[in-house]
């Protein structure tokens, strides 16, 4: 990029940044956006913690094992032409 192009880009950037920095509407938007981001991060942390606790419970682990067994049986049945799975 030529010197003149870089200079114009720099000046345009300065004008935009300064006008946004001094704009009350932009500042309100920035504060609200920040508050939403913080709130979403806190909510995600709570959900993650709850899921981690649930995943560690024996009931959930048994549900997952049973669900996977049923899924595996359905896949075997689909690939065996509809015959029930072999007993082990």
pLDDT in single tens digits along all 88 residues of the chain: 699 899 999 999 999 999 999 999 999 999 999 999 999 999 999 999 998 888 888 888 888 899 999 999 999 888 887 666 566 6
pLDDT at 57: 83
CA distances from 72 to 58, 59, 78 (A): 21, 20, 10
Tokens of 13: 């950037």
């Amino acid at each position: 990029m030529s010197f003149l192009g870089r200079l114009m880009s720099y000046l345009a950037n300065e004008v935009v940044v300064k006008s946004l920095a001094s704009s009350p509407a932009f500042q309100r938007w920035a504060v609200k956006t920040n508050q939403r981001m913080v709130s979403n991060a806190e909510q995600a942390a709570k959900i993650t913690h709850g899921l981690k606790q649930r995943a560690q419970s024996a009931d959930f682990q048994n549900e997952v094992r049973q669900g996977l067994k049923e899924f595996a049986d359905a896949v075997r049945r689909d690939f065996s032409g509809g015959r029930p799975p072999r007993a082990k």
